[in-house]
Structure 1
Amino acid sequence: MLVKAISLPLCTDCSPVRRASANVVSIIAKYAVPAGEWPDLLPFLFQCSQSPQEDHREVALILFSSLTETIGNSFQPHFADLQSLLLKCLQDETSNRVRVAALKAVGSFLEFTHDGADVVKFREFIPSILNVSRQCLASGEEDVAVIAFEIFDELIESPAPLLGDSVKAIVQFSLEVCSSQNLESSTRHQAIQIISWLAKYKSSSLKKHKLVIPILQVLCPLLAEASDGDNDDDLSPDRAAAEVIDTMALNLSKHVFPPVLEFASLSSQSVNPKFREAAVTALGVISEGCLELMKDKLEPVLHIALGALRDPEQMVRGAASFALGQFAEHLQPEIVSHYESVLPCILNALEDASDEVKEKSYYALAAFCEDMGEEILPFLDPLMGKLLAALQNSPRNLQETCMLHLLAEQEFIPYAERVLELMKMFMVLTDDEDLRSRARATELVGIVAMDLGWSFSELREYTHGFFSNVAEILDDGFAQYLPLVVPLAYSSCNLDDGSAVDIDDSDEDENISSFGGVSSDDEAHDEPKVRNISIRTGVLDEKAAATQALGLFALHTKSNFAPYLEESLKILVRHSSYFHEDVRLQATIALKNILTAAQAVFQGQNEGPTRAREFLDTVMNIYIKTMTEDDDKEVVAQACMSIADIIKDIGYIAVEPYMSQLVEATLVLLREEAVCQQAESDGEIDDDDTEHDEVLMDAVSDLLPAFANSMGIHFAPIFEKLKLSRPPQDRTMVVACLAEVAQHMGAPIAGYIDSEPDAAARDNAAGAVARMILVHPESVPLNQVLPVFLKVLPLKEDHEESMAVYSCVCNLVLSSNPQIMSLVPELVNLFAQVAVSPVETSEVKAYIGRAFSHLIAIYGNQMQPILSNLPPTHANALAAIAPKS
């Protein structure tokens, strides 16, 4: 009764109900059948399977299939009867539903087929399986038909010889399916996959039944089938066919090569570009598996490939580039002997209009040249020119492809500097999408290092840069590498740079700066005292990179840098007065980093304060001297920025002994009396000079807030010295620092707001103070600042400051700030002047109107005397902008 009760839902037309019911039976049977508690289950199912009613037969097969998941071994004694039953149901002429259910059940019982008799019996299923699958395909039930391929997959992988002579029928069916373009790509892909498994696991059967040529006669044309853009590339028939041909070549090479070469020879002449593409694709695909046979036929193979590389169609040229890359990889060393015909064609392809063709050509080039010796030398110059141009101008994926191993020992040296320069550009990229390019560039620098050795100056330069980047990434984790990398940096810093500067003693000039007198901008004919300059710029760049590296090692490893502090400081002191500005610049930066490390090293030591003071004294004296005596503006600017950082880091007390010298040096810069600010002899000022002036003055403006921050109100006397008469354009440029100075300096700043004679600079100063009040009103002594602030308003020239200035005033009014509410007469007068101004925006006037209305609401009739003192036009304008309640 239980069986009948449970089987009733199985007869429903609702598939989910049927599946759920079958699962229930299967789960109950898992426990009941082995325990002998359900003896009538299997007899009942056999009875149902022979019922004249279609539903009963179908239900029995569904349950058989489901039960294999839980009690499959229990069917073992009945397997012969079950096989006969399944075969009969597969051939059921009256019901397609029964045939489909039988097909599904057959797949479920496969894993239980082991013995010889069962194997032989199972082979009888294959014709019926094929018939059912064909019927399903004809009726559009592809999802059912592919069950056949799942069964065949199991048959092929099974250790039991389940296929027998049925291989031929399976292959024929698979070829029918994969060549039917009206079927789904996934269905065709499964059919192609069966061929692939047969080639991999049953290749002897394919040979025995002479199936290789029939298979290739179908698969090779599939290479020419246009892919549907909506389909997954992995399921596209052309790609799947290529994979199968590759597998067949690896396992059946001597049977595969002749028909593929024949197909390629004929298709390469086709008017259809897809077939011309398929011709070279097929040759490229089989080159690994058929390598020995192809080496013997290189002439005709290369004739097809090189012809395709000149094809007018991009797809054909791309396939040819791919094929040549495969040949170069697998047909060595024989293919190298054809370099005279192959290399020029590849070089031409590097200039193809298609990025895809170029990328595949780079791949082919890399593979082809890897095993070449001196044969490559005649092609090296044009080749390197194309590669370097591509590294600079191509899309990122092409740039990655270009970074390849293409070195010819000493012959590569002339190109190394340009290559390393480009690699440096890639190695500093930080975006996630650039990670592969950065990694490839790092790899290439390592390859250059191996091929050229440590004796190459540019290589050492970029190696120091590489170590610097790694130190920045690892931070104190880099400490373990210091014993290896610091000596290398010392070695570069101590190199003889090969420079020779001859000075004419007959006309000595005591004013020649201790910072050299020779820079990258000097020209021999402009300096009669310098008779001869000979500079190996590669070594100078190396020194600069090594100097920078020492500073970064110290900065990122801090106390771990202790063993190297003394020697590094000596080198940096020496380099701070080096004749070339690039080295001095890096020394100036590195000195600050060394000082940071020294502070960490000496902290907590008994003599720590004394030693730290010695380092600070050395660094500060160099910086102060640099400010006034160095002839390079960028170096001086860096010294100013480093001093500002030091003041922020260690505080005013530590730098107090140097303040008078610092202020004096700052004054020298503001008066344009420093060595770096002296006019050139030709009196011309170019754009670079202007840019350097801005960099320098920006750096000087960084010093002022640092002074004010550390000294507070005590900065006032120094500020008085620094506030000298300046050209309006310069004061406008640096006045942006005024807000920060005022924030730290406090009340004394108020006395300077209204004393500025230039209106634009005064407006800038007012804007700076307004922004400071908006951001940090609690830090500003409003009772002292506001009277002076309002006194310089309204703005006279720089109305770009209007929104900042007037929104500051209005916000204070609208918040009823007591400091500004004591200045109502001044406010009303200011608001009236803004109201009549033709240059102020409606937005600014709206702000003013709201603030004025707020005053009216608070003071009412008390405002009347103030308003009566206004000119009528001012009073009317003010009334017009006030919101109407």
Structure 2
Amino acid sequence: MAQNSTDMAQILPILQNLMANLLSPDNNTRSNAEKTLNLEWSIAQPNSLLLGLAYTMNESPDPSSRGFAAVLLRRVSLKENFGVAEIADAPEGTVWSRVTADTRTQVKSMLLSSLERESDNGARNKVCDTISEVANVEDAWPELLQALFVSSTSGLPALRESAFRIFTGCPQLLVDQNPQSVKDAFIVAFQDSSNNVRLAALKAAVQFLMIAEGTSRSKLDSMIPQMLSVLEPLLINKDEQGLVDSLSALTELAEIYPKAFRPVLPNLLEFGAQVSSNEQMEDSTRQIALEILVTLAEAAPGMCRKQAQFCDKLVHIALSMMANLEDDQDWYIVETLEEEENDDTSVFGEQVMDRLACSLGGKQLLPVAFQLIPTMLSSQEWQKRHAALMAVSAIGEGCFKLMKGELENVLNLVCPYFRDPHPRVRHAACNTIGQLSTDFSPTIQEKYHSIVLQNLIPAMDDEQFPRVQAHAAAAMVNFSEEARKKIIEPYLDTLFERLMNLLTSNKRYVQEQAITTIATVADSAQDLFRKHYSAIVPQLLSVLENASGKEYRLLRGKAIECVTFIALAVGYDVFKADSVKLIELLVRTQSQVVDDDDPQISYLLAAWARLCKVMGQDFLPYLPTVMPPLLKSASLQPDFAVLDADEDASLKYSAEDGWEFATISGQQIGIRTSVLEEKCTAVEMLICYARELGAGFEPYSKQVLELVLPLLKFYFHEGVKFASTAAISPILESMKSSVVLESANTNNPNLSSTPGTKSYEFVNAWTNICNTLLKAIVNEIDDVSFISQLYSSFADCVEVVGDHCLNDEQLKKFSEAVNLILSKSLEQIDSRIKQYNSGEVDEEEARVIGEDEIAESEAMDSVAKAIRLVLKTNTSSFMAYFDQLIPNLVMFANPELGKHDCYALQWFLCVFDDFVELTGPSSWTYSQYFLPAMVQALNLNNKPDERQAAAFGVGICAQYGGAVYAPAVGQAIPSIAAIINDPESLSEENIYATENAVSALVKILIYNQSSLPNFDEVMSLWFSGLPVLYDEDEAGTCYNYLYQILLNNETLLKLLQSYNQQYINHVIPAKYNDKVNPTNLQYLSTIPNGLGLLHLVNVLVDVLVQGVLEADLATKLASSLQSVLQSCSDEAKAALWQSIDNEKQQSLQLLGYA
């Protein structure tokens, strides 16, 4: 029912007074007005509220009131549950959905009236935004479309602009219109005499293209050149804000529809380069002009690589921006590094280099970059030297493959600048080495530690410039994180001395960094750090005891981190004497934390977990102290903010407090990410406690499960999802450990069905976990990395629960989930093959596709793991469901897929290797599906992974398949022999296939002996294929068999004779030609079984030195080696000993085997 004029006359003064109070600078007045708006208007009289706002928007004489009424109308009408968050039994939905149809009709009418009548630009824009949002929720509003078509051709520029502004906010209005008519209207608008109309039309066209599909989009593609025509007049008129707005809109389109820019890329490249290289223009203008080009490079790298001069122009501009630095004196005197504000232009240029390297790849970018970088490094301007070093730092990740081969040259180029006369260049050298240490680990640590550390460690002596000192120490963190203690050992004492010296600095940020670096070095040095324990730990404890005050919170946090890392490194026996005092200090610190943003919180969370690792079960008494704050952190919910597009988010939500905003559907959606990091850390710590404490953690397991299971759907932070998924099986394991203890202490056989028992809770927990994981697997099918984590977690849980852990319904859901991912993977494989076959995939695109395939194959490995464990624990009950997987499984063995570098066949063989192992002779029923592919794969010379899986499978068939497999296994022996005898059999890529072939032979010898007519020949082939040094599982099988032979002199003699027989004409085995002294080799070839003894001794030496065997078997083989040597003449013994190289001789002596 329409609101009569008398009612409106009464309402308006009250409403207008409320609006004034909502804008009051006084917090109390504004807060009370918001409550009144919520309770007395939006809930009690929503019809009157909307109509009053619409009337004010039309009739108020004050343009600011009209504009605010439009804004308030939009917010009140369309925000979900507006004003009812804290009100019990409040109505749900939007106010717009709760008012009468008549009210909605009147408001829409008044909106159109205001659009036509409004004379103030600011107020009209707010009216347009409200119209757009109402149109987005209204199913039908034919009057609006008619009004917009009239407005778009109006003689008034303001009305024409408004029409396109509304189309920008609600492009769906154009979806059902004739594409040609829409295109014609846009093209006319792009040529409008008004700058504002042209810009509004451009924004609207972008939004429409982003939602258009199929033929509509293809028909509109051809207007891209006209869209770009809007840019040139803006540049000529020096309308930089217009340029920023238009290029920002086009960047949105470039991100999701880059190929549309192919015809105009040359022109866009020239325009973007012209603007971004113009140092007279504002930084924001230059940056967005470059941003659209970088976005295109990321979205369509192949297209951009083919564009002449694309990479060259962008790299020149980015490097020029990076050199746009001022020698600001604040840089030198800053007291805390957080106070520094990054120079936007130089940092942006650095980010561009990083993004270009990752998108265009090293093959195109490196030649351009290193044509410029050496020249810049030799410049007299420190800014250029600084930019060149930072560029090297920025491109390492994206150019990894090519730069890795030139790493020594790169380091030789960078390291001299540790001695540059300008401190900021030295600072950049530290930064570059730190980043390279991360990007190229562990190569840089293993091969180039000398050149790096001989330059990096002295940089910590730069006392005149504390920021250089601190950055050198920070780079040391990057280096140490991936350095083995053997690498750190020669430098440890010198490094520790430098770091201790930094602790005396008068800059707190230097002290903080030194403590962090000491923690990382200790973590790498492990027990080598014991000698420095007494020098540093008392100081750290003193910091915790005496450094009070808010300004020392970060220092204390880093001290907590450092002392617990040291405890882990040196072990409980060294740390135990200080453990009680440290724990007392941590408890005190924890009790004093009151602010949610206290940096000590995250350090405490991780520190308690490290202590748990060090102390093991001795930590249990402290768990009640640790768990409450840990659970609080793990339960944190993200803070959200939803703002209108024209609101300044930074006024209330600063980036320093962890707020990040993104524009979605015309609104700014903000989330406080710092809270999420704390939450993620807390969940990761829960994993640690469950693993380390086992049954001791069980009292918390139920509560923790209730916390982590819902987090599988925590879409705000990937780390939280992954950590929560990883936490499930350790928690379940802790519950099972408690069940085992309970079962050992009671005679009740019905524990699992008795409420209140640990067994009962365990069964219920597993049911909940199983159902949650299976549901998540189906829901997350498109997230390859998370699917991998989910399947892995499911498999781990199945292994924990054990036999008969899944009922029929759960098996059905599992098989459906597996079939779903099998179908999805086959689709992805087919899509990649089509991409390759199109002929349009260049080298860098192939690399990206390859990375996607690796991620997918890792996920499929987790699927195979889950299939294996379900089959192992539910063998008979799963078979019927396994049958349902066969149609999809066999597709992975399709020969067509084998023509491409695809994981499919290898994965398929691994699944059926497991199947034969777990189902034994009964698997023969399924052999038609996998055995032909397995045998054929043995002959795939250029596919070592497939050959390895096939060779392993043949061995499994021999070991578990029984007599029924014997003929097929025997027929595979020639192909296995071909793998072993291949000249490239010992190459890095082939070695695992070779070792699995050797292992397959030993399994045939052990389990199929009775069916082998040529047993001695097969044994000789197996012996010649030794040693097996890298596949530890297969090594155990091979050397146990060899040990049995060594115990039987007759068999050993026959084996040695057989080996010698191969070289009866004194043709020396090729593998020994370059390893053994020619005189010794000639001598051994002339004595009985000399070459066989040579091979045996070297096989035994190699495996003992490699250290791949269990200690008991290694000791037995060492004893056998000594017996073999003792049975030889002195001359033969000397020749055999000399056939072992010096390094191995020393290793044998160190191990006590010689």
Q: TM-score, normalised by structure 1?
A: 0.49
Greater radius of gyration (CA): 1
Higher relative contact order (CA 8 A, sep 6+): 1
